[in-house]
Amino acid sequence: MASFELLAQDGLARAGQLTLNHGVVQTPIFMPVGTYGAVKGVSPSMLQAIGAQIVLGNTFHLWLRPALEVIAKHGGLHGFMNWQRPILTDSGGFQVWSLGALRKISEEGVAFSSPINGDKLFMAPEDSMRIQAALNSDIAMVFDECTPYPSSHADAATSMRLSLRWAARSRAAFNELKDPSVPNALFGIVQGGMYEDLRDESLEGLREIGFEGYAIGGLSVGEPKEDMLRILAHTAPKLPAHKPRYLMGVGTPEDLVEGVSSGIDMFDCVMPTRNARNGWLFTRNGDLKIRNARYRDDLLPIDPMCLCPVCQPEAHGDDRPPFTRSYLHHLQRIDEMLGASLSTVHNLFFYLQIMREMREAIQRSELQAWAATFKATRANGPVQETSHPHS
């Protein structure tokens, strides 16, 4: 069984250590998203170099392409994507739910048309568990239904209770498939829409089933930020204290600070990777839209204080000066993939770095002060003046 050790607490925030089949994860942690078995534009060795400890793979996507038998032939997703550290897989529930008109949900599972070739497909909790077992992820997620936003209390309750029944079936199927000698973990997912009482009922039901970790699902699905924060603040502290807590699909750097402060240990989001490809770069002093004409001849690195391999190659044993904003602006403007790749490295490093700093701040019982400084600095906006390091 995966084990989780709480090392420090600071208010509701926690620093911990999660021991999984493929290694140890220091929490709180951000998990880069590698939908199709690759974090877009970033090699496994670069992911390792910037300190990624665990990545996320998407069950639904990998099931369709390259298909399960190909990955199984590699002994699982680790061998396929050449990543030896832990992997978490989502269940596919959110993805089939996102197909909208293309899918039909019943008690048994979800019938849908393949977005690749139109094939009629069906996914039940048992299928999701079987796929995740073949992917051999360190952490599998229960197959659930995401409650749409907005939903009435009655609809959210119906949806949440279906998810609970699916969670029980997921647990049973997972246990049946599991090699007892391998400490793979299964996490439950709290649903219930924007209703505190339903979140409580969901959590209670999941605890009765019993999981190695607990996630909050159904947030960042279009609701106002205040609703997201309300449900987060209500739910996170109630999650079992001695199990890892995972806030799914969230979010901005500020959301991560809020999540950690509320007691969340794990996060995933496409924001750092997707935004990087569009030229949106995160920094301590607010974000840069690098395609903006103001960066055309700006010789500063993305962030002069950043220690990532793009802003500070020397910190990574590479004897060269930083890449300039001007160069990244150029690469983005000509749609050169090296620009997307370098930008992704920077953004992921930023996300991983703030998690590292929060972890250390928790261990010093200084998270509140750290968060206040972080928020104030971010609000200042990016350094804009141009220096001339090359002239």
Tokens of 114: 């393949």
Among 5, 7, 23, 65, binds a copy of itself (CB under 8 A): 65
CB 65, min distance to a copy of itself, A: 6
Closer to a copy of itself by Cβ: residue 159 or 273: 273
Catalytic residue status for 268: yes
**Is 184 among the residues that bind a copy of itself (CB under 8 A)?**
no
DSSP bridge pairs for 267: 30, 247
Closer to a copy of itself by Cβ: residue 56 or 173: 56
DSSP bridge pairs for 105: 110
Cα dist. 322→43, 281, 289, 353, 390 in Å? 20, 15, 18, 18, 10
- Name the catalytic one among 138, 255, 265, 268: 268
Catalytic residue status for 303: no
Among 45, 181, 226, 385, binds a copy of itself (CB under 8 A): 45
**Is 143 among the residues that bind a copy of itself (CB under 8 A)?**
no
**Is 336 among the residues that bind a copy of itself (CB under 8 A)?**
yes
Name the one residue in this structure whose structure tokens are 């690195």.
Answer: 301
**Is 384 among the residues that bind a copy of itself (CB under 8 A)?**
no
**Is 297 among the residues that bind a copy of itself (CB under 8 A)?**
yes
Cα dist. 61→35, 67, 68, 102, 173 in Å? 7, 9, 10, 16, 21
CB 67, min distance to a copy of itself, A: 8
121 Cβ contact partners less than 8 Å away, ≥ 6 residues apart: 111, 112, 113, 114
**Is 314 among the residues that bind a copy of itself (CB under 8 A)?**
no
Closer to a copy of itself by Cβ: residue 77 or 215: 77
388 CB-side CA count, 13 A: 1
13 Cβ contact partners less than 8 Å away, ≥ 6 residues apart: 28, 260, 261, 262, 263, 358, 362, 367
Stretch that binds a copy of itself, among 35-43, 176-184, 263-271, 285-293 (CB under 8 A): 35-43
Closer to a copy of itself by Cβ: residue 34 or 93: 34
**Is 75 among the residues that bind a copy of itself (CB under 8 A)?**
yes
CB 38, min distance to a copy of itself, A: 5
Distance, CA of 81 to CA of 346 (rounded, Å): 21
Stretch that binds a copy of itself, among 23-31, 40-48, 238-246, 252-260 (CB under 8 A): 40-48
Tokens of 21: 């089949």
Distance, CA of 186 to CA of 237 (rounded, Å): 20
Binding to a copy of itself (CB under 8 A): which residues in 222-261? none
**Is 210 among the residues that bind a copy of itself (CB under 8 A)?**
no
**Is 84 among the residues that bind a copy of itself (CB under 8 A)?**
yes
**Is 342 among the residues that bind a copy of itself (CB under 8 A)?**
yes
Closer to a copy of itself by Cβ: residue 338 or 369: 338
- Name the catalytic one among 90, 138, 255, 298: 90
**Is 321 among the residues that bind a copy of itself (CB under 8 A)?**
yes
Largest CA distance in the chain: 68
**Is 329 among the residues that bind a copy of itself (CB under 8 A)?**
yes
CB 355, min distance to a copy of itself, A: 23
Closer to a copy of itself by Cβ: residue 73 or 375: 73
**Is 117 among the residues that bind a copy of itself (CB under 8 A)?**
no
Among 69, 107, 226, 385, binds a copy of itself (CB under 8 A): 69
- The verdict on whether omega for the bond into residue 251 sits within 30 degrees of 0, i.e. cis, is yes
Q: Which residues are catalytic?
A: 90, 268
Task: Tell me which residues touch a copy of itself (CB under 8 A).
Answer: 36-45, 65-66, 69-70, 73-75, 79-82, 84, 296-297, 299, 313, 318, 320-321, 323-324, 326-327, 329-331, 333-334, 336-342, 388, 390-391
